[in-house]
């Protein structure tokens, strides 16, 4: 059943029903990794047969870097345990990624006997994280990016990755110590390669790696998407997973994902063979100049964002005017609040309101919030927020959407005149008793 009722408690939109994913078991690996966001491995009550490697403070990570990219992971041997790759996965997570790995969380290697998993087990991970991204009571709601999903695996897990190569949600592939060649494994074969539709990287452990020849054949056969062949010539089939922070295989994976998903210019590594940080590695690539493979993400650089302030706004009960020629009109009074940021702080004045038009048949709400803020040194600033809510049906694969673009009108003879001369975007988060509106300047 569609949930419309929460739309009635918005600032210039709504109040989110904040909740938490049900974590029932945790594990700390390598002190949380070397990245900016110390990671943990967790078991989620709604996905007990998988491990989620994630920043412990997802909210902080998402606030600092934006929505987190996702990696779904299949294990060596197609096993139901990621314990042999946990140092790799924990390290990736500490750099601002969410990894959903096949297999129940394991505290020690001796804890249980490993078993094989279904060929298409990764689809469960994809479906679960997609649902979490749209569920307001989840820790992952509005904090993961469903447009930035990678699929990867080690050895037989690489075959499980290629088994679902057709899935349109996948935007890049990572095949570690694996390759199909002329064999069939986990429901995948060379016939899976034409199903690839995004850039793919093979990471191999040299000629002693039993997957080496198959990976070479795959690389030669792939011609319709960009492909990279990265070879650690002495690592062998076990790669560097047992090393602290997952060794150079983990760093290579992070550099690849950052290039694909975070607009970090790592083309010098993957296209220009700058391997100064990767002794013992060789690299080759093809397909990045073709129309299909023009995915080197640096031809266009997205604008950066600068944090301006957070408004903590309180609201009153909504007032419904009913149907009008433009939609169902709802007015939500703004009763007060505070705001603070690096260059400004003060209070939100009582008397503003959010004037909404709701189009229930389209599952969308147009918002127009008008209010006034007062700085701590007595300057009044007029604010107008226009935005959009779109709540797709439960049958839709779209994610819930809510964003707005505020404009500021400050006195030109005040020290806040800079607010008049930029474009801003903002996002809401429901808190206990107020709505947090995070405002960013588009640079």
Averaged pLDDT of the chain? 90
Residue 323 burial (10 A CB sphere; 0-12, 13-18, 19+): exposed
pLDDT at 282 over 90: yes
Among 20, 41, 43, 39, CA closest to 31: 39
* N-to-C CA span, the chain: 41
Mean pLDDT of 174-178: 98
SS3 at position 263: coil
Mind listing the pLDDT tens digit for each residue in 372-383?
999 999 999 999
Alpha carbons 197 and 178: distance in angstroms, whole number: 19
- Please compute the mean of the pLDDT values over residues 11-23 and round it to a whole number: 44
| Cross-strand partners of 338 | 312, 347
pLDDT, tens digit, for every residue of 77-118?
999 999 999 999 999 999 999 999 999 999 999 888 899 999
Contact 399, 384 (CB under 8 A): no
Output the pLDDT for position 390: 86
- 120-161: per-residue pLDDT in tens? 999 999 999 999 999 988 999 999 999 999 999 999 999 999
pLDDT tier, 400 (very low <50, low <70, confident <90, very high otherwise) = confident
Is residue 289 predicted with pLDDT exceeding 90? no
Q: What is the mean pLDDT of residues 167-183?
A: 96
Tell whether the model's pLDDT for residue 2 goes beyond 60: no
- Tell me, what's the pLDDT at 259? 97
Residue 228 φ then ψ, to 5°: -120, 140
Helices 156-163 and 122-133: angle between axes, nearest 10 degrees: 60
pLDDT of residue 401 exceeding 80, the answer is: yes
pLDDT score of 222 more than 80 = yes
Question: What is the structure's pLDDT at 95?
Answer: 98
Smallest CA-to-CA distance from 161 within 53, 78, 61, 69 is with 78
Does the structure show a pLDDT above 80 at 191?
A: yes
Q: Which two tokens stand for residue 227?
A: 């492909």
Share of the chain above pLDDT 70, in %: 92
Whether the per-residue pLDDT at 293 is higher than 80: the answer is no
pLDDT band at 15 (very low <50, low <70, confident <90, very high): very low
Band of residue 301 on the pLDDT scale cut at 50, 70, 90: low
Residue 298: CB atoms within 10 Å: 11
Local structure of 286: helix, strand or coil: strand
pLDDT of residue 184: 94
0.75 surpassed by pTM: no
Res. 352 pLDDT band, cuts 50 70 90: very high
Place of tokens 């929460």: 6
The burial of 22, by beta-carbon neighbours within 10 Å (0-12 exposed, 13-18 middle, 19 or more buried), is given as middle
Q: pLDDT tens digits for 229-264?
A: 999 999 999 999 999 999 999 999 999 999 999 999
Task: Output phi, psi for 125, to 5 deg.
Answer: -65, -45
Q: How far apart are CA 18 and CA 366, in angstroms?
A: 22
């Amino acid at each position: 059943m569609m949930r419309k009722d929460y739309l009635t408690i918005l600032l210039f939109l709504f109040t989110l029903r904040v909740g938490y994913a049900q974590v029932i078991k945790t594990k700390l690996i390598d002190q949380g990794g070397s990245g900016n966001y110390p990671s943990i491995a967790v078991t989620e009550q709604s996905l007990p047969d998988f491990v989620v490697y994630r920043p412990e403070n997802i909210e902080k990570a998402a606030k600092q870097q934006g929505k987190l990219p996702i990696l779904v992971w299949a294990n060596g041997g197609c096993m139901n345990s990621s314990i042999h790759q946990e140092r790799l996965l924990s390290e990736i997570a500490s750099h601002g990624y969410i990894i959903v790995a096949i297999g129940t969380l394991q505290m020690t290697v001796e804890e249980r006997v490993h078993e094989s998993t279904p060929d298409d087990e990764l689809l469960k991970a994809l479906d679960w994280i997609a649902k979490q991204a749209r569920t307001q009571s989840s820790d992952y709601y509005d904090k993961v990016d469903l447009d930035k999903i990678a699929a990867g695996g080690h050895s037989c897990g690489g075959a499980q990755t290629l088994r679902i190569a057709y899935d349109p949600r996948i935007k890049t592939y990572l095949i570690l110590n694996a390759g199909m060649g002329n064999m069939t494994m986990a429901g995948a074969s060379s016939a899976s390669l034409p199903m690839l539709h995004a850039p793919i990287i093979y990471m191999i452990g040299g000629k002693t790696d039993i997957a080496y020849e198959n990976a070479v054949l795959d690389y030669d056969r792939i011609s319709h998407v960009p492909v990279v062949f990265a070879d650690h010539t002495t690592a062998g089939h076990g790669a560097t997973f047992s090393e602290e922070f997952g060794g150079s295989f983990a760093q290579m994976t992070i550099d690849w994902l950052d290039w694909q998903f975070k607009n970090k210019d790592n083309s010098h590594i993957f296209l220009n063979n700058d391997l100064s940080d990767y002794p013992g590695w060789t690299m080759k690539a093809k397909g990045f100049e073709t129309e299909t493979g023009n995915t080197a993400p640096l031809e266009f650089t997205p604008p950066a964002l600068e944090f301006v302030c957070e408004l903590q706004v309180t609201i009153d009960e909504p007032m419904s005017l009913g149907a009008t020629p433009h939609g169902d009109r709802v007015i939500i009074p703004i009763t007060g609040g505070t705001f603070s940021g690096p260059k400004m702080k003060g209070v939100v004045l009582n008397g503003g309101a959010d004037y909404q038009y709701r189009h229930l048949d389209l599952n969308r709400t147009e918002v127009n919030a008008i209010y006034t803020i007062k700085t701590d040194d007595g300057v009044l600033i007029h604010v107008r927020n226009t935005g959009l809510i779109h709540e797709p049906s439960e049958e839709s694969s779209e994610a819930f959407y809510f964003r707005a673009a505020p404009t500021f009108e400050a006195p030109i003879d005040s020290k806040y005149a800079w607010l008049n001369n930029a474009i801003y975007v903002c996002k809401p988060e429901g808190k206990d008793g107020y709505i947090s509106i995070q405002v960013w300047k588009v640079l």
